[in-house]
Amino acid sequence: MDFFSAQDEARKNTKWLVLLFSLAVVSIILLLYLALIFFGSYSNTASMAQPVRWWQPELFLIIAGLTSAVILLGSLFKTLSLARGGGAAVAVSLDGRLVSRATGDPLEQRLLNVVDEMAIASGMPVPMVYLLDEENSINAFAAGADVHHAVIAVTRGCLEQLGRDELQGVVAHEFSHIFNGDMRINLRLIGILHGILLLALAGRMILRGGGHRRSRNAGGIVVVGLVLLVVGYAGLFFGRVIKAAISRQREFLADAAAVQFTRNPSGLAGALKKIGGYTDRRIAHPKAEEASHMFFDTGVAMHFNLLATHPPLEQRIKRLEPMFSAASLTVSVTEQTIGGEAVMGLAGGEAVRGSPDRVRWSVGNSDERHLDYAHELLAALPPKIVMDVHDPQRVRAVVYALLAGSLADPAAQLPTLLQEESKATIDMTISHLSALSVKNRAARLPLIELAIPAISEADGDHTSMLMHNCRVLVEADKRVTMFEFAVLSLLEHALVGEKRPNVPRRMSLGEIGKDCQVLFSLLAHAGHREADPARSAFRRAWERVRLEGPVELLECGQIPMEGFTKSLARLNTLKFAFKAKLIEAAVAAIGDDGKVTLNEAELLRAIGARLDCPIPPILPGSLA
């Protein structure tokens, strides 16, 4: 799977979705118009002898205007509400509960561990996790506007009936939807189809009101309500056609990507078999229909259905296990063995070799080596650090400790620098300093990524205070290291967000070139202290993007961090195909001397985060 092509393809699919939606609206208008003409003509006894006037322009314009207004306003309202709430809004609408990072439930902790491992292995921001407590079937979905605002939700049945390998397969499948850009399409589908379903709801309300009236117009009101109800449910048919056209093939891709990620087809196949073995696979919530295309499984029987958003389970399982027979499906409840399960972590901090092409292709294509790496990294962390980084009340101390390592005398300086913090938090920060020493340097950035969900659970005042104190700690020694820049970048991007820069629809090559010059200059200086090697690294990066003109390396003093951040924000508006070249160029710059150090790798991951391109860990010796 090519992450960059998939993201651009998702944007193209949005245009295809708009076209299908337009055709559906036109069809609904025509159906409603013809139905009203028909019922209007034959319900009026005075006109039964007259031929039916099928073309009535004024009536058509009224129906077209009112119908379009209802559908478009309904879709716009739903789309805007989803844009504000993102994937969390979908989970909450289905009665999902945010799984607290401080949970003491072993099953919930196992789920968080699996999600954390996947996130660190893929380089993706750790998504929020929701649990559908009232749903006993096995199911899951991913939702969100982009990789930085994704959530993963699972049902109670998924948590209780699946073993760890099966749960890992399901979560890997949902991560694939995040990387493929499917979430953006899925959210827009919900918004668009909501407007179509409003007609059925309006018809139902009219029928309920008209049925209690005894006036002469009661019959006409009932007819209008009946027509709206029938046409509204015809709209449901069109909605399912649109879902099927967009979603079905992407499920096969997500299954394949999950197997590539885990290298364990039996885990995903086992989950699919257990789903098929249940007689009742439905999501019981009344709003499940509008989100049916997002689920891991549709909840319908195992047979081919032209309107199904997912391929039949039998086909999906056979692709994973060619010898599978549907007759062998049975329900087997897995006994959960949670005790003694490792949590996660990264070992080593040595310099490694990195090929630009291979790093670029690793984006969205993590495999079992990355997963093992993440598992080992987190398993090597002190239990106290792991516990605190998941606790919304104590997570700030871990973040402060990661940034306070460069202070000359942390015990004396922290009370002065963190004036708004409590003494307990400051004492906790000091106690963490030794545990987060040089031997655990490779775990520093993953710990920041793990901290973000717990920080998000806290109230806005605590988040604002955290961001302020992080900037104070970074500025305390009057310089900004690559690691400190990476930390601020990740936290600001995830917690504060950034306004989309005011750039023209099409940036000129000159404008793109200036931003690339800033980016490549900083990367060249990050790994090369002398002028000649830095210029060589800069030229290597510039050749990768193939922009015009001889452009010179900027001196360090000419690259303010604020200007660098603005350049990244502008480059983030470009197509993913060009972002792929930027990632290749970045690796070429920092790897010009034949190796990539930990500091350079941290900077690279921060740049990837700013470009919405999650970069997996560069594994020692694996990308030479």
| Spatial distance between the Cα atoms of 457 and 466, rounded to a whole number of angstroms | 13
Distances (CA, A) of 14 to 7, 131, 189, 192: 11, 29, 9, 11
- The burial of 204, by beta-carbon neighbours within 10 Å (0-12 exposed, 13-18 middle, 19 or more buried), is given as middle
SS3 142: strand
Q: What is the 3-state secondary structure (H, E, C) of 308-330?
A: CCCCCHHHHHHHHCCCCCHHHCC
Question: In which element (H, E) is residue 460 found?
Answer: helix 460-475
Question: Are 1 and 178 a contacting pair, CB within 8 Å?
Answer: no
Alpha helices in 94-143 (DSSP H): 106-122
What count of other Cβ atoms lies within 10 Å of the Cβ of residue 235? Answer: 25
Which of 120, 547, 577 lies closest to 360, judged by CA?
577
| Spatial distance between the Cα atoms of 208 and 224, rounded to a whole number of angstroms | 12
SS3 122: helix
| Spatial distance between the Cα atoms of 115 and 536, rounded to a whole number of angstroms | 40
Cα dihedral angle (556, 562, 564, 568), rounded to 10 degrees? 170
Contacts of range 12-20, beta carbons closer than 8 Å, 24 or more positions apart: 13/185, 13/246, 14/184, 14/185, 14/188, 16/245, 16/246, 17/185, 17/188, 17/189, 17/192, 17/242, 17/246, 20/241, 20/242, 20/245, 20/246
Report, as residue numbers or ranges, the catalytic residues: 174
Question: Are 127 and 147 a contacting pair, CB within 8 Å?
Answer: no
DSSP character at residue 555? P
Cα dihedral angle (317, 321, 322, 324), rounded to 10 degrees? -70
Half-sphere exposure of 211 (CA within 13 A, CB side): 8
SS3 132: strand
Question: Are 551 and 585 a contacting pair, CB within 8 Å?
Answer: no
Q: What is the end-to-end Cα distance of the chain in Å, rounded?
A: 21
SS3 447: helix
Which of 320, 284, 313 lies closest to 297, judged by CA?
313
Question: In which element (H, E) is residue 151 found?
Answer: strand 151-155
Among positive and negative, which fits the CA dihedral 47, 51, 52, 57? negative
